[in-house]
Amino acid sequence: MNQTELLDQFILEARDCLEQIGQRLLEVEKSPTDAELLNDLFRLVHTLKGNCGLFEFKPLERVVHAGEDLLDRVRNGTLGYSNDMADALLDAMDFTAQMIDEIEQTGAISSAAEGRSQALATALRAHLAGPAPTAVATQSAPADAPVTATAAATTAATTTAPAATPHVTPAPAWMDRIPTTLLERFPDAVVWRYRPEPECFFKGEDPWLLSRQVPALKHLDVGTQGAWPPVEEADCYQCNLDLVGLSDAPIAYVSDHFRCVPEQVEVIALSALRPAPPVAAPAPVPVATTTPAAVATTVAPTLSVAPGGGQAAANLRKRALQMWDDQIALLSRSGIAPGTVAAVRLSLQGLLRATADDSAALHLTTLLALPANASAAAVGQWAAQHRPTGEAHGDASNATDHPDGLDVHADHPASDGSGLPPGTPPDAARRSSGDDGGHQKVLKVGQEKIDRLMDLIGEMVVAKNALPYLAQRAETHFQQRELAREIKAQYAVINRIAEDMQHAIMQVRMLPVGTVFQRFGRLVRDISRKLGKEVELVVEGEDTEADKNVIESLADPLIHIIRNSLDHGIELPEARRKAGKPAHGTIRVAARQESDRVVIEIDDDGAGVDPNRIRRKAIERGLIPEDKAATLTDTEAVQLIFLPGFSTADTISDLSGRGVGMDVVRTAVERINGHVELSSQFGKGTRLRLSLPLSMAVTNVMIIEAGGRRFGVPMDLIVETVRVHADDIHHFKQAQTTVLRGRIVPLRALHGLLALDDTPHLNEEGEHAVLVVRFGSENVGLLVDQFHGATDIILKPLEGVLAGLTGFAGTALMGDGSVLMVLNPKELV
Amino acid sequence: MGIRYLKKYAALEDIVTVEDAETLFGWLKQQAKPAVNLSKCVHVHAAVLQVLLLVKPQVHGHAADPWLAQALGCAPGQASD
Amino acid sequence: MNRVLVIDDAATVRMYHRKILGDAGWQTDEAINGLEALEKLNNQPPETPFDLYVVDINMPKMDGYTFVRELRRHPSAMQAPVMMVSTEAQSQDTSVAFDAGANCYLVKPAKPQELVLTAALLLGDAAVALKAAEGVRA
């Protein structure tokens, strides 16, 4: 596994998170007090932040972190949700999505993102000052806590239950360095202590600068971690500062400020040092954020620089010692489970083995000799007696350091008493495991893997088709009848398997249309707000499935149709009221399956299309002659909207894009073998009906030959194949036509359409081979040289530079390895 | 910008960076009566602050940065060392 | 061969931790939350299947604390040290972690060297521990 794989995984998960976050944000707007929803949303943002942190994408982390802090307050009930907050969060998520894209492209974030990141984070944090929701969200302390609540909620739930007081931390000694007048003047302030590590200057840090820049700094006291050595011996580049300060800013801001050196800083909210007033709902005050100096590191309390060699061993020792003491402290807690004792013994063993010196080996023997059921107290005593001796200068300082740095040991009786009695968890766990019925295993697979499978199966399908031909050759050419029979038999087996595989992979590729529909919510919300319209979006049939390619190609046309609806369709509220309609308009998007097609309908109850206006515009733009326009019925006139270059908007609104008309939508839909129809009632509304193939995977084509080359033509476009005698072809100026079953059919030579240097061949009887294809309501006959058989192929759309060749629907790989160009006759003509 | 070493004192001006700490330290140690002027000093790096705390030079003039002044004990209203 | 179980609901974090621990030379496995982790344990042969647990706190279905509490109710023979991993914002909960029965507590994102050092100390892997200790601050 390498860094790229990890990054790919990050991108995958980040996108997944963002998608779900987007959905939740919309849902939350509708029900801002839904606790489960809020917790879910928080957890998603939290995960996202965590992942960003692994890669040190700072601009990204900053923004997501701000969002997380905001959501934490909201879900705790101390901050009310608002539309503006929603906007800020949505903006932030958009930015995040962009950054993810950038990371995917270049592997990093450009420095240009810095500014925007700061702006977005600031905008988000501004909301932190907002009001709490008017109704205090009753913190239902859920007993089945593990489901979505975080540990903090669990602690709050259990510790603030009956008589117990919330987790109150005693005021640390260093607070003496802050004048009491300030503590009184700013009761909701935050106090902090920053003890930079001695080597920090070499990392380019400036703790003095960092301290001075703490937001809303009211007091800053400079002390030292150890006594100053005599001036002659002192090294000014070993940091010995011990900074204490008071800031009248939310604790989140201050913590965020010190986020690069969290293990060197303690941040405490003054409010957490006071017992909480008796309140119905346990007020989830930000409990003292004692930094996790616990195990990760401790600040070196002495100034003396450790000797050069053996630094690693010294670090190791020091760390081992800290952990040793942690284990001792663990053993002295009340209500310790026997399992914990066992684990502590194992940890102690590990520590001894890891430090690997002579005394350690001795200690190990005695540890292992302790009786299996030794009590916690007994083990604790042993551990205290056999504490590994560290380096001389390290030891003494460790003993004194702990009370501050490791909150774990200090003053435990109080919090232990309110700790969770061992009895509580089982119920919670059992309940949650009861809820979880069918433990469904879901795999997340990247799309490229599916595509690869598709390709392989496609090749397999084609390759197997060579077998019958081989069997034939075996019999006729090589006179091997037995062999031929066996080949055919085996072919039948392979054929069945291949078809099953094809079905199976097509099932995997089927996606619910909901994946496209889900972004409409946001679209409708944003645009309707911008335009000052009230629009409700109704979505039906999101579970209807279609092939991945179809789904993906649908996105743009659908979005455009909806934008049109929002922009031109739905009227402003007053206009609607005047027309006797409800003030809010409705856009309905519905999907369903009809035999082998997927039908998607989008209708609105807006202004509809004005046939006369369309007629006028069409004439103005010279799209149809005036007399023709007059003969069109209203229904037909409305269809003119599909003509290229048609846009009735007098001002091209930037929302719908410049000059992108319905013709583009139609082309896009037809490119995936779909149809689109529009019907409208002026004043009442408009409906668009899209019909799409269920699957694009397998296409049946007829192979024809022209100019010595072979091409494929999709079977569902072919009306018939017919031979027409040269004499039956009427020439009129440049055009050629013939009569087939009483109807005039225009003829075009494929050679000309494809610019092949050849003219259509005639067979021995002087006949042309004509392939009659359907264009909408008309038929056109294509003159070709030869018909060959029909076959199933996997149509691959053209990619890259070739994608612009609209005359070709795509390519297909043939059994003999050759590539067949599949035509899109409509575009050729 | 940086430090100007005059006869009787070192003038710390604008922003004094980490590189200057060592030099300042050496210079101050050699003075019989170490003294600095902080009236134009906007910010010092923490290492420089350490030097000032270690040596405890006399501070001429009004320190421009109130936090620095307070840290050195020469803010108005503070008892001088 | 030491075996480590990484429990975290974020796939990226699981991958990250497993990579770091795997590079250190240990076998790793993963679970997406406390519930799945317990199932894994219960479906394994009765000797201690894992030598170390690296447990995230915030997970759906069953969070880290609950998992550890549950784990600690298993027979002694099945026990192993637990390294609790959490983000800064929850650092006040170290005591809850220890109450639950965790043996140590690490803040994420953990610097790789820190993670490896702590794990090596708990697993008793002297060579790896010494190497990792070079990269960490005293």
CATH of the domain at C58: 3.40.50.2300
- Burial of B24-54, coded b for 16+ CB within 10 Å and e otherwise, reads bbebbeeeeebbbbbeebebbbbbbbbbbbb
B with C: touching (≥3 Cβ pairs within 8 Å)? no
pLDDT surpassing 70 at residue A688: yes
**Which has the higher per-residue pLDDT, A431 or A731?**
A731
A with C: touching (≥3 Cβ pairs within 8 Å)? yes
Residue A207: predicted pLDDT: 93
- Asked whether residue A278 is domain-assigned, the answer is no
Chain A interface disruption, residue of C79, C115, C123, most A CBs within 10 A: C79
Contact C133 A313 (CB under 8 A): yes
Q: What are the structural domain ranges in chain B?
A: 2-73
Residue C54: predicted pLDDT: 95
Q: Are residues A534 and A664 in the same domain?
A: yes
Interface TM-score (ipTM) > 0.90: yes
Total-model pTM: 0.43
Beta strands in A471-516 (DSSP E): 510-512
- Asked whether residue A532 is domain-assigned, the answer is yes
What is the band of C72 on the pLDDT scale with cuts at 50, 70, 90? very high
Residue A697: predicted pLDDT: 59
Q: What is the mean pLDDT of residues A303-318?
A: 61
Which residue segment(s) compose the domain that C69 sits in? 3-135
**CA A754 to CA A84: how far, in whole Å?**
57
Q: Which of A166-180, A463-477, B50-64 has the lowest mean pLDDT?
A: A166-180
Share of chain B above pLDDT 70, in %: 91
Contact B45 A228 (CB under 8 A): no
Q: Are residues A790 and A649 in the same domain?
A: no
pLDDT surpassing 90 at residue A364: no
What is the band of B1 on the pLDDT scale with cuts at 50, 70, 90? low
- Asked whether residue A95 is domain-assigned, the answer is yes
Q: What is the mean pLDDT of residues C45-57?
A: 82
**Which has the higher per-residue pLDDT, B68 or A134?**
B68
What is the band of A568 on the pLDDT scale with cuts at 50, 70, 90? confident
pLDDT surpassing 50 at residue A463: yes
What is the band of A442 on the pLDDT scale with cuts at 50, 70, 90? low
- Asked whether residue A420 is domain-assigned, the answer is no
pLDDT surpassing 90 at residue A263: no
Provide the token pair at A275. Answer: 């017992």
Contact C93 A342 (CB under 8 A): no
Q: What is the mean pLDDT of residues A305-320?
A: 68
How many secondary structure helices (H) and strands (E) does chain A include?
Answer: 28, 22
CATH of the domain at A743: 2.40.50.180
- Burial of A72-111, coded b for 16+ CB within 10 Å and e otherwise, reads bbbbbbbbbbbeebbebbbbbbebbbebbebbeeeeebee
For domain B2-73, give the CATH number.
3.30.750.24
Q: What is the mean pLDDT of residues A527-551?
A: 86
Q: Are residues A153 and A224 in the same domain?
A: yes
Total number of domains in chain C: 1
Chain B interface disruption, residue of A194, A224, A236, A240, most B CBs within 10 A: A236
Q: How many CB atoms lie within 10 A of CB A446?
A: 12
Residue A132: predicted pLDDT: 73
Q: Are residues A162 and A233 in the same domain?
A: yes
- Asked whether residue A747 is domain-assigned, the answer is yes
Q: Which residues in chain C are contacts of A263 at CB distance < 8 A?
A: 107
The 10s digit of each residue's pLDDT in A283-309 is 333 333 333 333 333 333 332 333 334
Share of chain C above pLDDT 70, in %: 91
Distances A392 to A234, A306, A389, B1 between C-alpha atoms, Å: 21, 11, 8, 44
**CA A678 to CA A608: how far, in whole Å?**
11
Q: What is the mean pLDDT of residues A743-769?
A: 84
Q: What is the mean pLDDT of residues A543-548?
A: 83
Distances A367 to A38, A351, C66, C123 between C-alpha atoms, Å: 49, 12, 29, 15
pLDDT surpassing 60 at residue C121: yes
Residue A544: predicted pLDDT: 87
Report how many Cβ contacts below 8 Å link chain A to chain C. Answer: 265
Do β-strands A778-784 and A767-775 pair in parallel, antiparallel, or remain unpaired? antiparallel
Residue A648: predicted pLDDT: 53
When the pLDDT of each residue in chain A is averaged and rounded to a whole number, the result is 76
Q: Are residues A457 and A581 in the same domain?
A: no
Domain boundary among A693, A724, A742: A693
Which residue segment(s) compose the domain that A355 sits in? 312-404
